[in-house]
Amino acid sequence: MRPHIRTVIGSVIGITVLMIFTDGFHLGGAGVLTVGRYAPLLGAFIGGGLTLFSVSTFAGKNEVAEPWRGHERLAWILIGCGCIAWAIGECFWRYYSSIGQSPFPSLADFGYSTLPPLIFLGLILQPFSGMGIRRTLVVLDSLISMGSLFAIAWFLLLGSLAQDPGEANFAKFLGLYYPTSDIALLSCIVFLLLREQGRVFQATASRISLLILGAGLCVYAIADFNFNVQQNLGTFVDGTWPDLGWPLGMMTVGVAAYLRQFLPASVVRSTSSEDGEKKPSRQLRFGLPQAVPYLLLALLFLVLVINVFSADKTQQGIRPVLIVVTIIVVSLVAVRQVVTILENEHLIHEQTKIHEQLEQIYEEIAQRQATLEAGVANLKAVQTRLANGDVRARAALVGGELWPLANGINIMADRMMRSEQRQRYAQKIIQALSDLCQALEQRGGKSHFVLPASCLDAPPELHQFLLVLGLMPSLPKPPAHTPHIDPLSNTAGPNLS
């Protein structure tokens, strides 16, 4: 791990320990406790600032960082802006607290309510290793989970709280918006981690940053849920343990962004050798990510049945909202089913296309193998002919993998032919010399000498030797002819002048 990463993580851990001592254990007296109440504000600014700093900073010359893919940089910018918006809302809330007021709703809620949609959009823009349909499925799964869990929470608690006549409509809306948005964030990050198992997720920086981001959002959502419960029960106290969830969650988000930028790049093994080659086919399978929306829908139907058969007036009052949410969730499930069918058709088309490409490759391999077998058979035949003494045998290959071997065999055959010609030449000279020696021995003292026929057919070098010895008369030179060139035909002929 690089030194500056240790420094950043160590600083965040140190600030966390100070927050725990001040807000959790109330060490340092009333003065330190007053400062500790600003821990959520400090944590939000640290988390958002660290996220935006990480996105806008480039790695050093000696650092090899994981490259940003697609809209990933924009996704982290939105997440950082969400933390900063929450910090701005906290600034308004601290102002109200300083003057002894706690209005709800207030200007602080505009900042608080901005965080969930920005982070949700940032999660959706995270890169996917598959096609765009997978991103749509993550959105639909998140919305189905959000609607189902909202309906269940509406049946158990939120519905009775919303019927309180003492609150304004906007306050009731915010009271439902915060837990619902937290559910949406948790659902999105869970489905993102469950479904994304491709090449992008295998990179160390992307995988670790998403896991840490999910942990930070879980801490934030737990703190938000705890605050809503205590606020409704009237037991919330500022500057205590529940306040630690918000700063810890957002600082964890900042650490996730920092690690995404500065963790070393990892070599991802893929079935495709280089970028731009065809992608491996994905299997059509039904696992936990695909089963969760249907399980939540079944649970939602169970809650609806219980509500319909209930005679309680409270349950009757919350029934319209429960029915509307159920209809919306069922519609989303239907849309998800259509998208799933489209995805399956696309995958089947991909598999068919890849199957056709594999068949073409197999045909090319078969043709290549047949060509190699024919070439090997030709080389074997040429080698057999050469072994039997046919030095005129030549390999007929002009290309391919066997061409170097065929060329080598042809060169060897040429050398064998030249060697055979030299042997015949040498045998002819030896035979002429042998006949010449026998003729000289038979001559004795006689003056008449008969030149053997083999010497007449001997090479020119032996003829010159016989002329020097006076054993062979000089042959008359043929008459010289002056060539005549026909200017029309451009051919040579005898001179008739």
- State the DSSP code for 240: S
d(CA 211, CA 199) in angstroms, rounded, equals 16
Quick one: how far is CA 394 from the chain centroid?
Answer: 51
| Residue 46 · residue 85 · CB < 8 Å | no
The DSSP H or E segment spanning 493 is: strand 492-494
Helix (H, G, I), strand (E, B) or coil at 102: coil
Q: Residue 419 carries which side chain, given as an amino acid letter?
A: S
The predicted structure's pLDDT at residue 195: 63
Examine the fold and report which residue of 237, 269, 301 is the final residue of a domain before the chain moves on: 269
Residue 486 resides in a domain? no
Q: Residue 6 carries which side chain, given as an amino acid letter?
A: R
Q: Return the closest-CA partner of residue 126 out of 249, 254, 264, 260.
A: 260
Residues 342 and 411 in one domain: no
d(CA 322, CA 227) in angstroms, rounded, equals 24
Q: What's the token pair of residue 222?
A: 């737990």
| Residue 33 · residue 234 · CB < 8 Å | no
Residues 159 and 17 in one domain: no
The predicted structure's pLDDT at residue 397: 67
| Residue 63 · residue 262 · CB < 8 Å | yes
Q: Residues in the chain, how many?
A: 497
| Residue 417 · residue 440 · CB < 8 Å | no
Query: 485 has which bridge partners?
Result: 492
In the block, residue with structure tokens 């981690």: 193
CA 109 to each of CA 49, 102, 173, 223: distance values in angstroms, whole numbers, following the listed order = 21, 12, 12, 16
| Residue 180 · residue 120 · CB < 8 Å | no
d(CA 34, CA 239) in angstroms, rounded, equals 8
For 279, what's the count of Cα atoms within 13 Å in the CB-facing half-sphere? Answer: 11
Residues 364 and 408 in one domain: no
58-65 — which CB contacts under 8 Å span 24+ positions? 59/261, 59/262, 63/2, 63/262, 63/264, 64/264, 64/265, 65/205, 65/261, 65/262, 65/263, 65/264, 65/265
d(CA 307, CA 301) in angstroms, rounded, equals 10
Residue 379 resides in a domain? yes
Neighbours of 175 (CB within 10 A): 20
Residues 140 and 125 in one domain: no
Residues 92 and 34 in one domain: yes
Examine the fold and report which residue of 211, 240, 269 is the final residue of a domain before the chain moves on: 269
d(CA 383, CA 375) in angstroms, rounded, equals 12
Residues 38 and 62 in one domain: yes
| Residue 401 · residue 371 · CB < 8 Å | no
Q: Please, is 340 exposed, middle or buried when counting C-beta atoms within 10 Å of its C-beta (0-12, 13-18, 19+)?
A: middle
Residues 122 and 43 in one domain: yes
Q: Return the closest-CA partner of residue 177 out of 153, 155, 156.
A: 153
- Omega prior to 320 cis, within 30 of 0: no
* Domain containing residue 293: 132-168+284-388
d(CA 82, CA 119) in angstroms, rounded, equals 6
Residue 17 resides in a domain? yes
CA 117 to each of CA 181, 347, 351: distance values in angstroms, whole numbers, following the listed order = 8, 32, 37
| Residue 413 · residue 393 · CB < 8 Å | yes
Full DSSP string of 416-451: HHHHHHHHHHHHHHHHHHHHHHHHHHHHTT-S----
| Residue 329 · residue 149 · CB < 8 Å | no
Residues 32 and 82 in one domain: yes
Residues 205 and 311 in one domain: no
Per-residue pLDDT of the chain (497 residues; tens, 9 = 90+): 567 788 888 999 999 998 888 877 777 766 677 777 888 999 999 999 999 999 988 765 666 777 888 888 999 999 999 999 999 999 999 999 888 888 888 899 999 999 999 999 999 888 865 556 777 888 888 888 888 888 888 888 777 777 766 667 788 888 888 888 888 888 888 888 776 555 555 567 888 888 999 999 999 999 988 888 777 777 777 777 878 899 999 999 999 999 988 887 765 444 433 344 344 444 445 666 678 888 888 999 998 999 888 888 888 888 888 899 999 999 999 998 898 888 888 888 989 999 999 999 999 999 888 888 888 888 888 888 888 888 888 887 666 778 888 888 888 888 888 888 888 888 888 888 888 888 777 776 665 667 787 777 777 777 777 777 777 665 444 444 444 444 433 444 433 33
Residues 85 and 142 in one domain: no
Residue 279 resides in a domain? no
Helix (H, G, I), strand (E, B) or coil at 135: helix
Residues 19 and 91 in one domain: yes
CA 454 to each of CA 443, 451, 469: distance values in angstroms, whole numbers, following the listed order = 17, 8, 17
Residue 121 resides in a domain? yes
| Residue 379 · residue 409 · CB < 8 Å | yes
Taking the chain, what is the end-to-end CA distance rounded to the nearest angstrom? 104
Residue 478 resides in a domain? no
d(CA 343, CA 141) in angstroms, rounded, equals 15
pTM tops 0.85: no
Domain count, the chain: 3
∠ CA(45), CA(50), CA(51), 5° rounding? 105
- State the DSSP code for 114: T
Residue 153 resides in a domain? yes
Q: Return the closest-CA partner of residue 250 out of 7, 135, 88, 102.
A: 88
Residues 16 and 163 in one domain: no
Neighbours of 369 (CB within 10 A): 10
Residue 404 resides in a domain? yes
Neighbours of 265 (CB within 10 A): 14
